[in-house]
Structure 1
Amino acid sequence: MARIKSTPRQISTPSAPTSPIAVPHKPNTHYAEDVFTSSALLAFPIVTVVLSSLLPSDPVKILAYSLPLVALIQAVNILFTSPAPEQVSKSSGNKKKKQAKSTVSTTILGLVLSILLTPFIHLIYILFGAPVTVSIPATFLLSAHTALLALFPILCTFPLDGVTWINIVALKAPLTPAYTAALGTIAGAWLGAVPIPLDWDREWQTWPVTVVFGAYVGNAVGRLVGAVLSGKEKKL
């Protein structure tokens, strides 16, 4: 009789359930950069055109009247944006309310700190050649506009700790639209001061018309650059 070879039976053991692997993600900012960028890109060019046409007639009056509008635009960009998906995907109603309160408190804190830092920016303008004893209201209002354009978004999107702000000053912070807009504001204000000492005797060469115009143009360009860079990072 032929011998039948028996093959060893393979006993299958139930496999242990695999747990999903947590994929690390970048920390979220306090509000969505996309909405902030898109809305501000539409608002600030309009403000720039209006300011450039009205400023030469009465810089102090126009800067004073437009300051609340700029603060409102910045605050709206912060308040009326939705949190990142991972923050609200499994959140309860109470957590959403807490996050809304946190956004409001962050906005208020950023605005208050921007106001408190305005005299410091005023001092920086003086160190870079702004008039010391004349045009003080104009310089102070210019400093307030600079604070709202450059500092307000950063104060609301970056943590308020020493290491982060050392990186911001050292130009090592992430190139978010808020950060590139701040850099553009500073660069634009510096370039805007170039035409003032030229002997053209034009009305728009009055301090600080060209500096304000340069700050707003630089802010819009910087914000656009940041939007493009952040869009490329998301695709990657």
Structure 2
Amino acid sequence: MARIKSTPRQIATPSAPTSATAVPYKPNTHFPENVITSSALLAFPIVTVILSSLLPSDPVKILGYSLPAVALIQAVNILFTNPAPEPVAKSSGNKKKKQAKNTMSTTILGLVLSMLLTPFIHLIYVLFGAPVTVSIPATFLLSAHTALLALFPILCTYPLDGVTWTNLVALKAPVTPAYTAALGTIAGAWLGAVPIPLDWDREWQIWPVTVVFGAYVGNALGRLVGAVLSGKEKML
């Protein structure tokens, strides 16, 4: 009986690419990857300097006059730094207009909700030691500024559902400049209250000058940290 010679089986191996080119990381020019595009990051340090120099003279007047400007800065920042819409065909050009309209509607809704939540923030300030029967207008305006700094961007960039907001409160939400700016605002306001009871007899120790200053500094630093951290996550 003739023996059949067996030949070794050829194992197919993937062919190596002829030329390997590294694809550079190209960050999106929209929120939250690019720090430069964040108008609030650039504007709020300037607002902080102006407020800190003018607030001791008349806190209620300065906080009231600056409130619309802060709302405008936040609204512009949200409108221009939200993710860009997907490219659409010419036949569906109305889709891009609809996306822009939805962004505008979300921004307006976030602003309205922020103002509606201002009394709740006022109550929190009182529970943490703010004057109860005196300086009520100053505390309320401080609460409105806090709502614009901390709540407004989050209301526009996170879904309005229980699970999302439970994660936000539990510090389990994804890192974004809006989220870290809110945390920075809260931490800065809390630290800003430390110099008020000290026996220094300085003009800037009146309520709520240092709290406003701390909130704005904390917001700017938190936004910067969030932009850097979220940018690193995109590169991994």
Tell me the equivalent position of 2:55.
Answer: 55
Q: What SS does structure 1 have at the residue aligned with 2:186? A: helix
Tell me the equivalent position of 2:42.
Answer: 42
Q: Per-residue CA shift, 1:65-90, capped at 9, x if unaligned?
A: 00000000000112234633xx4223
- Is residue 143 of structure 1 aligned with residue 153 of structure 2? no
Q: What 5-or-longer segments of structure 2 have no aligned partner?
A: 1-29
Q: Distance in 1 between matches of 2:115 and 2:196?
A: 27
Q: Which moved more, 1:124-133 or 1:34-43?
A: 34-43
Q: What SS does structure 2 have at the residue aligned with 1:88? A: coil
Pairs within 5 Å for 1:18-33: 32-33=31-32
Q: What 5-or-longer segments of structure 1 have no aligned partner?
A: 1-30
Q: Distance in 2 between matches of 1:82 and 1:127?
A: 35
Q: Distance in 2 between matches of 1:206 and 1:68?
A: 23
CA contact (8 A) 1:115 1:147 kept: yes
TM-score (norm 2): 0.83
Mark the CA change 1:90 to 1:44 in structure 2 (over 3 Å): closer, same or farther.
Answer: same
Q: Per-residue CA shift, 1:92-151, capped at 9, x if unaligned?
A: 311100000000000000000000000000000000000000000000000000000000
Pairs within 5 Å for 1:121-200: 121-200=121-200
Q: What SS does structure 1 have at the residue aligned with 2:123? A: helix
CA contact (8 A) 1:110 1:152 kept: yes
Q: Distance in 1 between matches of 2:69 and 2:114?
A: 15
Tell me the equivalent position of 2:227.
Answer: 227
Tell me the equivalent position of 1:208.
Answer: 208
CA contact (8 A) 1:35 1:77 kept: no
Q: Percent identity?
A: 87
Q: Distance in 2 between matches of 1:57 and 1:137?
A: 15
Query: Shift of the alpha carbon at 1:35?
Result: 5.9
Q: Distance in 2 between matches of 1:82 and 1:150?
A: 17
Q: Per-residue CA shift, 1:9-44, capped at 9, x if unaligned?
A: xxxxxxxxxxxxxxxxxxxxxx73246863211100
Tell me the equivalent position of 2:86.
Answer: 88
Q: Per-residue CA shift, 1:154-195, capped at 9, x if unaligned?
A: 000000000000000111111100000000000000000000
Q: Distance in 2 between matches of 1:38 and 1:77?
A: 6
Query: Shift of the alpha carbon at 1:230?
Result: 0.8
CA contact (8 A) 2:121 2:143 kept: yes
TM-score (norm 1): 0.83
Q: What SS does structure 2 have at the residue aligned with 1:234? A: helix
4+ residue runs of structure 1 moved beyond 2 angstroms? Answer: 31-38, 80-84, 89-92
Tell me the equivalent position of 2:9.
Answer: none
Mark the CA change 1:58 to 1:101 in structure 2 (over 3 Å): closer, same or farther.
Answer: same
Mark the CA change 1:94 to 1:82 in structure 2 (over 3 Å): closer, same or farther.
Answer: farther
Q: What SS does structure 2 have at the residue aligned with 1:221? A: helix
Query: Alignment length, in residue pairs?
Result: 204
Q: Distance in 2 between matches of 1:158 and 1:173?
A: 10
Q: Distance in 1 between matches of 2:209 and 2:203?
A: 9
- Is residue 67 of structure 1 aligned with residue 53 of structure 2? no
